[in-house]
């Protein structure tokens, strides 16, 4: 399987949070991993702000600590190996894990000496060591945050600096209902610089925001993929255009239920994507908070939406094709999938009698 939309800070082991809470003397609302998981986790739909509030509980235990930042990256790869993932792109905001040279300092931390730049170096080291030890190919995506356009110019510079050390793209995350946030000059300039510098681009849009947010992501920010993108379907002309352009939708089914982005009893956007043979992938988003694994999303679509093995193969091949890997590495990943699925590669199709 290939996964393209998962947040590092939403994929931390509860045990690791407890360990650093104790080690750093930071109070947590629970004493065991099970209790902590129950408090951080969600079982029924919350609003997006309600969901984002969950991070306030545990991010202070990890942010600002070099050892913790590197460890969560390493353990992330181990987690994905256990799920049978062969390639994953993991995203995070370097600024939300820092406590120095970041304004404002997140999570009410005291000022320290861990900069966003060093955060990227540490995460990259953790991912590379995990890749070596667990045999999963991993790349990273750096997030700009909608409410902090002042951070975005540095995000694109860090993408350039670390482009040969796991970083393959940038993202825009946070509350997309924040009026006009796609058009904040800090974000727009950063995305223009990304285009100029050959940095790949994805944007959270159309999860709970209007099709207009999707249009801004595509036309102004020149995104190559859409994080979620469900609300695109409310504008048939826009959807038709994006399908024609082979836009990739990073779909997170279980997440969309728990954040209220999708209401039970209505048809999920992914059913339409499947029906139209659109370009999309299945992803977990924030498995710590959603108490899930990739299997959760596959079971949900298989049992509740009649997804078939053939469709799972198709969407994983599309995920690989829409990944931000360089062409040669992408070809190797696709060969791996064709082999695993016992499918002839497209170039060879038709050569077999």
Distant-in-sequence contacts of 155-162, Cβ < 8 A, 24+ apart: 155/93, 155/94, 155/95, 155/190, 156/190, 156/191, 156/193, 156/194, 156/197, 156/199, 158/94, 158/116, 158/117, 158/120, 159/194, 159/197, 159/199, 160/197, 160/199, 161/117, 161/120, 162/120, 162/121, 162/124
Cβ 228 vs Cβ 249: under 8 Å? yes
- The Cα 209–Cα 234 span in angstroms is 11
Q: Reply yes or no on whether 207 is catalytic.
A: yes
- The Cα 121–Cα 218 span in angstroms is 30
- 7 beta partners: 91
Nearest to 87 by CA among 317, 306, 252, 347: 317
- 169 beta partners: 141, 200
Q: Helices 33-40 and 14-24: crossing angle, nearest 10°?
A: 110
Q: What are phi and psi of 203, to 5 degrees?
A: -145, 135
Q: Which of 154, 176, 207, 250 is catalytic?
A: 207
Question: Which residues are tagged catalytic?
Answer: 207
């Amino acid at each position: 399987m290939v996964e393209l939309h998962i947040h590092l800070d939403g994929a931390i082991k509860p045990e690791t949070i407890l360990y650093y809470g104790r080690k750093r003397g930071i109070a947590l609302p629970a004493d065991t991993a099970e209790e902590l998981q129950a408090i951080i986790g969600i079982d029924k739909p919350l609003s997006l702000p309600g969901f984002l509030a969950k991070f306030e509980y545990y991010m202070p235990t990890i942010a600002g600590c070099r050892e913790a930042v590197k460890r969560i990256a390493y353990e992330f790869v181990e987690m994905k190996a256990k799920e049978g993932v062969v390639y994953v792109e993991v995203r995070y905001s370097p600024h939300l894990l820092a406590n120095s040279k970041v304004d404002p300092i997140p999570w009410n931390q005291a000022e320290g000496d861990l900069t966003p730049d060093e955060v990227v170096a540490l995460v990259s080291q953790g991912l590379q060591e995990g890749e070596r030890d667990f045999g999963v190919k991993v790349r990273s995506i750096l997030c700009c945050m909608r409410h902090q356009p002042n951070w975005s110019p540095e995000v694109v510079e860090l993408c350039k600096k670390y482009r040969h050390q796991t970083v393959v793209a940038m993202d825009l995350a946070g509350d997309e209902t924040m009026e006009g946030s796609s058009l904040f000059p800090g974000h727009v300039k950063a995305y223009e610089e990304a285009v100029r510098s050959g940095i790949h681009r994805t944007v959270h849009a159309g999860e709970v925001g209007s099709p207009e947010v999707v249009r801004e992501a595509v036309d102004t920010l020149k995104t190559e993929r859409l994080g979620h993108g469900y609300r695109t379907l409310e504008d048939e002309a826009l959807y038709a255009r994006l399908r024609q352009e082979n836009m990739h939708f990073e779909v997170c089914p279980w997440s969309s239920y728990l954040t209220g982005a999708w209401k039970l009893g209505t048809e999920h956007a992914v059913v339409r994507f499947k029906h139209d043979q659109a370009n999309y992938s299945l992803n977990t988003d924030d498995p710590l908070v959603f108490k899930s694994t990739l299997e959760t999303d596959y079971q949900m679509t298989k049992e509740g939406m009649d997804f078939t093995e053939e469709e799972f193969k198709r969407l994983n091949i599309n995920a690989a094709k829409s990944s931000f890997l360089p062409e040669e590495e992408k070809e190797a990943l696709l060969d791996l999938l064709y082999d695993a699925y016992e499918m002839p590669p497209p170039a060879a199709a038709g050569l077999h009698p």
